[in-house]
A and B are shown apart, each in its own frame.
Chain A
Amino acid sequence: MAGAGGFVEADNAEAIIARIETKSSKIESLLKQYKPVEALKTALEGSPPKTLDERCKSANWIVVHRALMAIKDIEGMLNALDVEYYDILMKYLYRGLSTGDRPTCDQCLKIHEKLTERAGLGCILRCLTDTINTV
């Protein structure tokens, strides 16, 4: 269903990338202030799942990855995160695991364990079966 009904066309992708860049600078400043939880929340908000453009997705992934690696207190982070973001976070965790990069995978596995305890297997299922809203 390329480019039809509800999906963002290539020209709007520029707008999204610009938005992601502003988000990225905000996140950098939050991380400098030792607020990694806030940073992750900002990164996950406004994730553009309904765009087919790979550049948008990659751009957003870089931002989320930066925030994810900075997290030390996983429990605290999950406490502060709203339930509706669990599914999106799980999708990014799997994207992280697919990179094969050791530190990224370590971090993603740690978060995955805690997130599964909270959100249950249904969360994982939703990531696996959702082929339309991918990150």
Chain B
Amino acid sequence: MAVVDVHRFAESITCHAWSPDHSMVAFCPNNNEVHIYKSSQDQWERLHVLEKHDQIVSGIDWSSKSNKIVTVSHDRNSYVWSLEGGEWVPTLVILRLNRAALCVQWSPKENKFAVGSGAKTVCICYYEQENNWWVSKLIRKRHESSVTNVAWHPNNILLATTSTDGKCRVFSTFIKGVDTKDPKAGSPAESKFGEQILQLDLSYSWAFGVKWSPSGNTLAYVGHSSMIYFVDDVGPSPLAQSVAFRDLPLRDVLFISEKMVIGVGYDSNPMVFAADDTGIWSFIRYIGEKKAVSSGSSYSSQFSEAFTKFYGQSKATTANEASESSKSRGGVHDNCINSIVPLSKAESPKVMRFSTSGLDGKIAIWDLENMEEELGHQF
């Protein structure tokens, strides 16, 4: 389990996505542009700069089969870019939003994409062949606050959303003419567009980062209160578990397999969570080896200074070991990790490689080669 490659592309990276063959990466360097870099012989060279948005590009997704890039931005717009003759050509998608767009994801079949926004709505966009443009349908009901993340279920119809009202909801996004009704699965009631299937009230604080497991049986999302929530058997009677952990909250999660989840966030070090045989989820370890430091310096230098001042208010406390201000996080990222993207072939059930990007402007690629031996754990 190690970092394969780290590269600092910019001051800060908002979001990133990989090309189908994983040779090119598109990211937003915290401004209104999208940069596309190609890796060749250990060097990264910039190929394209996509400049169409007026404000920060908050979400990028690159479809693997149709090779299209969708970008959404705080300027309430979305563009679908296609590669024509070596240049990326944008097509405007009118989302009909009156607030910023926050996140975007292509559906598994890549015929739709979902956009979460600050307008308390989710836009589902699909391509209309007759008019040759993308149409957006809005899910206006239910959300009481900004929609921070969206995640598609493998069946291409169910969509999970997390919001700053703390709740995670699952909706049906069945669109006549685009989706085909599976005769075996799902009752007619579920097939109505915008129908809420499930609402999870596990979190008291903002919810971020939601993902489905590869089979679609389990859902994981994180709350800003340093908790991660796992829901098995999503449906009429779900089984929910809340796992509280020691350190700073997470921002995004990724399912490596049915039983293992990697979470990334403000600790700048990915965390591994796994379910044991009885189905109970728990925190296993950090991915990077944390040096076994004494308790005094287990916070970064910033924190120990603040704590000294805090405890120094009390006359009775002894002096803290503030001199040991080691930059102990000592990991790959120096700042909050914003997003985690899988880097495996779509057919394999386990994700062996993934990449993370963060506010420090770095993109790191991780490989999980020897993970099973290191953990002593099946996954």
Contact = CB atoms under 8 A, between A and B. Distances in A.
Interface in A60-106: 87, 105-106
A131 B204 contact: yes
Contacts of B206: 129
B246 to A, nearest CB: 3
Interface string B261-296: 000000000000000000000000000000000010
Interface stretch (A10-18, A24-32, A112-120): A112-120
Contact of A109 (B205, B223, B247, B310): B310
B249 interface: yes
A129 B205 contact: yes
B204 A120 contact: no
Q: Is the interface of A mostly helix, strand, loop or mixed?
A: helix
B195 to A, nearest CB: 23
Contacts of A125: 224-226, 248-249
Contacts of A105: 313-314
Contact of A117 (B223, B244, B249, B295): B295
B189 interface: no
Interface string B286-315: 000000000100110000000100110111
B313 A122 contact: no
A116 to B, nearest CB: 8
Contacts of B204: 129-133
A130 B307 CA distance: 22
Interface residues of B, number: 25
A87 B246 CA distance: 11
B245 interface: yes
Contacts of A106: 314-316
A112 B205 CA distance: 23
A4 interface: no
B248 A121 contact: yes
A29 to B, nearest CB: 28
A126 interface: yes
Nearest to B299: A121
A109 B307 CA distance: 10
A55 interface: no
Contact of B317 (A109, A130, A133): A109
Contact of A122 (B248, B295, B307, B310): B248
12 contacts: A105-B313, A109-B311, A109-B314, A110-B314, A110-B316, A117-B295, A120-B247, A121-B248, A122-B227, A122-B248, A126-B225, A126-B226
What 5 A-B pairs are tightest by C-beta distance, nearest first? Answer: A120-B246, A122-B226, A129-B205, A129-B225, A109-B314
Interface of B: 204-206, 223-227, 244-249, 295, 298-299, 307, 310-311, 313-317
Given A122-B225, A122-B246, A123-B226, 10 more contacts: A105-B314, A110-B314, A113-B317, A121-B247, A122-B226, A122-B247, A122-B248, A129-B206, A132-B204, A133-B204
